[in-house]
Amino acid sequence: MAKVDADRDRDRRELARRKLGLFFRLGFSLNQVLGEATKARAKTKTKVFEKEREFELTEIAIATPPEIAEAWSFLDLLPRKVIPELHVIRIMLREIVRTIESAPPGDAVENQHVW
């Protein structure tokens, strides 16, 4: 019986270790995406009284980290409330990348005014 308890405890610790690693990797990669999105937003917005500038979509760099795919493949390790949010992030990143990649070379976009 002690062997069974020891194996169960080992399996529980291993599962906790895997979950923690997955959460940390996902958290770090989402912070990286947030930083890239913040830079992209700054590039696409200008203050009303600033000179407008055109930019190419290819100047915006938002990568889809592999940790998002990893988290998606291990949904059983994630809390249920995280799954829909992760799904939305995957869709949004896929659309951003698709938009940037489909832009013709030299295709310029004007900044949007913000107050």
Q: Distance (Å, rounded) from C-alpha 30 to C-alpha 90?
A: 11
pLDDT number for residue 99: 81
pLDDT tens digits, one per residue of 8-27 = 999 999 999 999 999 999 99
In the predicted model, what is the mean pLDDT of the chain?
Answer: 83
Q: Distance (Å, rounded) from C-alpha 61 to C-alpha 55?
A: 13
Every domain of the chain and the residues it spans: 2-114
The per-residue b/e assignment along 61-88, b for 16 or more CB within 10 angstroms, e otherwise, is ebebbebbeebeeeeeebeeeeeeebee
Q: pTM for the complete prediction? A: 0.73
